[in-house]
Chain A
Amino acid sequence: MSKPKLDLLATIQLKEITGVVGSRISKVQKVPLDADIRLFADGSCYPSKALVEEFQLEYANKGSDAPEYGFDIFETSKWSMWPENTDNFVMIAQVSKHAKKVDLFGKVTYDDQNQPRASVLNQGAGTFGKRLIGMLETTYGEELFKSGNSFVDLIIVRDSPISPAPNNIYNIPKLIVKGDKAGTYTYERRENLTIYPLIIGTELAAEAPMQDDAVGEIASLGTQSEPDSGMYADEQPLSLSDDEQKAEAALKEANDILGTEGQ
């Protein structure tokens, strides 16, 4: 998979979804080919196959010692380690699925043979995805689905990880979703993370109808129901909220501060 670069962002035109051609209902390809995560309007999220391999996201059998990871995803605006007066981002970091409160691709159910009931490629993971939409819209100032598009693609900016904290300890903000404190934040302590910006990077080709071989490939991966594909609706172009220079400058500034001040 080609690595997304920030300098691509200036040239990317986010896709507007136009109407259905004739009466044909196009089946949307859920697993992205040229992006990392495809986020649908209903909150369902699908990683690319390359992402699954790169970050070892696939679920192993219950009790297996095989490494398996998910993602922490959070807004720097809720992160106390992020320098003040710095542009905010949505950040993403690989964490063990066995850690507490993994945001994305962290949980699956198992059958009576202790095998996962779904592949991470077709699980959907809609619960967190609904929050992710809010995070992205708030942070980047874009309403993601205002034009009726069914999804946006997200890119992990691997070229711009933030500088590691001096002690490699990170306290990651976590939204409390249940109970008396629902809606407030707590944190989870993590170690040795590599934290990348997660940006909106839908490309024009991203919402192409699913190719037959891709349909078959995905269908063979699991049995869990997928979110509604939906028709193509009116398409309006989305634009990036931050240009390349602004994003790079903000990340550099944050890295400079994180690298010298620690916690």
Chain B
Amino acid sequence: MIEVGIQENIKLVKAEVKPDSKGNSLKDSLVIGLEVATGSSFSLNSLTSANETVNDGNDQEFYFWPFDNKDRDGATVPFKEVIKRIKDFQAQLNHILSGYMVKTAIEQKWDAVLFQNTGIVKDEDASIKLVQEVPLNTVYKNLANGFVELITPFISDANAPLFRVKLIRQSKLKHFSRIPRYAPFWEPMSIPKDQSKLVFTQWEIDNGFNDGTPSADAPSPDGSPDKSEQDSIDNVFGLNQAAAN
């Protein structure tokens, strides 16, 4: 397991869009795997919103969960919140990709794919379509597939850079690590530690997100993350964006 903390010599070894276990293609998820370059291999689970980490033996994966256009009460999420979720996800992907390539390469990809197959034309008022499940999750899959296409050449590249990664605690209950929603959490190892920008914020420290100590009520580490966990952690972080920054 890669523990909570600021971890070094991390290599991205996997990126794929994983089919939903129930066959709902709208719920296919982006998954990335990380490895410690010293030899231990890991995959990590995360959520887009929650970045949930689940231990699966020696393999762990970070899942970036698809967007949900409904809140817990079943009400449609406001357009403003939808946009925020898209932007947050995109920013996470941009942050990782920017360790490998220049920003124009990333922007070109997003320009080409972001609204593909959604019926949304760039610069049009998308406030009606984007709050609907199908267009919204098509945007998610466009971003996820675009990320995989951009990052894949580096996964097999033995000379791809290693990274220093900030991993925070999943939740008060779960001590496993997850990728933060907000940058910076990812920087090349070529940056000396004393110049690093990766630090735990005071808010994260105050709320124990820098602490990987297991809780007495900790759940089994191999349990799959479910929707209720995602919502729960959404609340923890979604309502504290400024503090998390």
Contact = CB atoms under 8 A, between A and B. Distances in A.
20 contacts: A80-B190, A80-B192, A80-B195, A81-B190, A167-B100, A167-B101, A167-B102, A168-B102, A169-B98, A169-B100, A169-B188, A171-B187, A171-B188, A171-B190, A184-B195, A185-B195, A187-B191, A191-B103, A262-B159, A263-B161
Interface in B87-116: 98-104
A173 interface: yes
Interface of B: 98-104, 159, 161, 187-192, 194-195, 197
Nearest to B162: A263
Given A81-B190, A262-B159, A169 B102 contact: yes
Nearest to B197: A186
A263 B102 contact: no
A185 B190 CA distance: 14
A224 interface: no
A171 B191 contact: yes
Interface residues of A, number: 18
A171 B190 CA distance: 8
B99, B104, B189, B191 — most chain A CB neighbours (10 Å): B191
A187 B161 CA distance: 17
A37 to B, nearest CB: 26
User: 8 nearest interchain CB pairs?
Assistant: A263-B190, A191-B102, A263-B161, A185-B195, A80-B192, A80-B190, A187-B195, A263-B188
Contact of B195 (A167, A186, A262): A186
Contacts of A168: 102
B165 to A, nearest CB: 15
A189 B99 CA distance: 9
Contacts of A184: 194-195
A186 B199 CA distance: 12
B102 A192 contact: yes
A189 B197 CA distance: 11
Interface string A179-208: 000001111010110000000000000000
Contacts of A263: 161, 188-190
A173 B190 contact: no
A80 B159 contact: no
A169 B101 CA distance: 7
A167 B159 CA distance: 11
Contacts of B194: 184-185
A82 to B, nearest CB: 10
Contacts of A185: 192, 194-195
Nearest to A168: B102
